[in-house]
């Protein structure tokens, strides 16, 4: 593997993340899950799109103008924050979906009555 495999692989990974988050949002939209889960998954797909665009801009700036002050730092920060946001949102949707599917809320509510 060459030295230039990392960046294209990183871009493909970002595109795959966008496809997965959009697919997840589309599948949840078709189910009778709570509206909050649908909204969060839609926003997560939006963050994936933002992250892909920020990553492409970051790559362009780093390639074309690597000494441009502050721009690469801001784009890198936005790219990393978006990645962490996607991770947090996707895991919260997965947990909430699992709780909803297992009807754990209803069991806990009926046990307290």
* Predicted confidence (pLDDT) per residue in 6-47, tens digit: 788 888 999 999 999 999 999 999 999 999 999 999 999 999
How big is the chain by its Cα radius of gyration, in Å? 19
Please report whether residue 35 resides in a domain: yes
Please report whether residue 98 resides in a domain: yes
Domain that residue 68 falls in = 6-112
Please report whether residue 77 resides in a domain: yes
Please report whether residue 96 resides in a domain: yes
Number of domains the chain contains: 1
Please report whether residue 107 resides in a domain: yes
Please report whether residue 1 resides in a domain: no
For residue 9, what pLDDT is reported?
87
Q: How far is CA 80 from CA 12, 15, 16, 77, 83, in A?
A: 16, 15, 17, 5, 5
pTM of the entire predicted model: 0.81
């Amino acid at each position: 593997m060459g030295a230039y495999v990392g960046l294209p692989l990183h871009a493909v990974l970002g595109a795959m993340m966008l496809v997965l988050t959009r697919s997840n949002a589309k599948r949840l939209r078709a189910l009778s899950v709570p509206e909050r889960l649908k909204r969060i998954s839609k926003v997560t797909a939006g963050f994936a799109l933002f992250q892909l665009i920020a990553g492409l801009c970051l790559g362009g700036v780093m390639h074309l103008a690597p000494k441009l002050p502050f721009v690469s730092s801001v784009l890198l920060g936005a790219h990393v924050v978006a990645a962490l946001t996607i991770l947090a949102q996707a895991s919260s949707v997965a947990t909430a979906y699992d709780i909803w599917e297992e009807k754990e809320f209803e069991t806990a509510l009926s046990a307290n009555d």
